[in-house]
Structure 1
Amino acid sequence: MTTYFSDRSFRFLRALARRNERAWFHAHKADYEAHVREPFRRLLSDLHPDVLAVSPHFRADPKPVGGSLFRIHRDTRFANDKSPYKTWQGARLFHERSRETAAPSWYLHLEPGDCFVAAGIWHPESPVLRRIRQFVVDNPAGWKTAAHAPAFRRRYRLGSQEMLVRPPRGFPADFEFIEDLRRRNFIALRSIDDATMAGPRLRQVLARDLRATAPFMDYLCAALDLEF
């Protein structure tokens, strides 16, 4: 079995959190490449067959530019926090049509003490969000299976950030999943401990997560008229 990340991966990210400066980063860029970026690219390359086994329409792309890996540089143009770098590394396993339309994705997050895997759609625009909500109302049995199956909920939690204060207008107040319609983000996620992220079974663990969250992703794709 292959390992990807190590204690040195977490050590670099912790140090970056303490010294989030361009001069420090450039002086330690070789450590970033060796212990964070390149291991993540290897993981993406190895995960690609596992992604295709779940859905032929999603990609784990290890390309250094334009692939699955997010840049570690922060966009500080409109932010009060001008720190130049993120203190984590993330990657998304994206739908083949994601450049042309809103689509769900899987997301992998590497951060000391806060690693996780997620599936779903984050911050969709209002028309997209309304389509998903309406689809849930029109297909409640499928939503119950995809998002509320006992085995699924034992392993994954539905993201609860940025919930509306009250259910959106225009939907029946007595709907079984009315609280789910308050969601701004339709995501399911699971924390992963650092030891697992740095261990030899990481790919197998993530492949299991891909399979387990496939019905949830399939449902969201159906809501948005996307192939799964």
Structure 2
Amino acid sequence: MNFHELFDFLTELQKNNNKEWMDANRKWYKSLRDDFIVWLDGLDYTMAQLDDEYYPTPGKKGINRINNNLMFHPHKPIYKDHFGAGLDKAPNSADFYIEVGVKQCLLAGGFWRPEPKTLRSIREGIDYNGEELKAILHKPSFKKTFGELYEDEKLTNAPKGFANDHPHIDLLKNKTFAVVHELSREEVLKPGFNEKIKQVYLEMLPFRRYLNHAASV
């Protein structure tokens, strides 16, 4: 994958974020999209070798649309400033997300505002064995890679059915259970980018497995 060219395309797209420019450069976009899908297919194969619970996700299935959803976000530009994709996308599970863009590049995973039933299951998992999740989150290498849980809206009070003095109340109040590893453009452009992705994937794996187990109960 030629990430230099991908950054060039995304930069030009943000300068000319309109349908007319995209139509005139659609061949360029499709060529890069096809290359990105092939690159994702390679990652999909690599991840399957790393994780025996991996859910095969071809690049064409994992890649996100470049169009913003203007029905729900009418003030956003027509096109996104990044290429993004989710891998290991088993139903009702915490996937592994990749984003390469002009403003930010990142690797992330977990559940972003899951639907109520899944969120309830995750909270019940924390109620039953929150110490395991805390051990994962406090592992030095994990904290170095991801820092804290992704900052999102949290409940002011304990969720229904849980006490305010619950020993894991700080976790139970979360609506999102995800972590993010930010990347510099230089890291994306380095020859070892795929190796970096593998390292982050493996560091995140116990966190995602914990969430998947909780969500499936």
Alpha-carbon distance between aligned partners in 2 of 1:14 and 1:217, rounded to the nearest angstrom: 33
Ranges in structure 1 where 5+ consecutive residues have no aligned partner: none
Matched, 1:83 2:77: yes
Structure-1 residue corresponding to 2:208: 217
Give the alignment's TM-score, normalised by structure 2: 0.90
Structure-1 residue corresponding to 2:5: 8
Alpha-carbon distance between aligned partners in 2 of 1:203 and 1:159, rounded to the nearest angstrom: 23
Matched, 1:70 2:92: no
CA distance 1:219–1:82, shift in 2 (3 Å): closer
Superposition pairs for residues 82-161 of structure 1, below 5 Å?
A: 83-96=77-90, 98=91, 102-157=92-147, 158-161=149-152
Give the alignment's TM-score, normalised by structure 1: 0.86
Structure 1 runs (4+) deviating above 4 angstroms are none
Alpha-carbon distance between aligned partners in 2 of 1:9 and 1:43, rounded to the nearest angstrom: 13
| 8 A contact 1:5–1:197 mirrored in 2 | no
Relative to total residues, which structure has the larger helix share, 1 or 2? 2
Alpha-carbon distance between aligned partners in 2 of 1:72 and 1:105, rounded to the nearest angstrom: 19
CA-atom RMSD in angstroms: 1.9
Aligned-pair CA distance for 1:149:
1.8
Matched, 1:20 2:14: no
| 8 A contact 1:156–1:189 mirrored in 2 | yes
CA distance 1:39–1:194, shift in 2 (3 Å): farther
Alpha-carbon distance between aligned partners in 1 of 2:11 and 2:30, rounded to the nearest angstrom: 15
Considering Cα pairs closer than 8 Å and 6+ residues apart, tell me whether 1 or 2 has the greater RCO: 1
Alpha-carbon distance between aligned partners in 2 of 1:198 and 1:93, rounded to the nearest angstrom: 21
Q: Deviations over 1:163-197 (max 9, x none)?
A: 22343233232333322222111101100111111
Q: Deviations over 1:19-59 (max 9, x none)?
A: 21111011122322334x23321221111232212243322
Structure-2 residue corresponding to 1:43: 39
| 8 A contact 1:146–1:219 mirrored in 2 | no
Aligned-pair CA distance for 1:121:
1.1
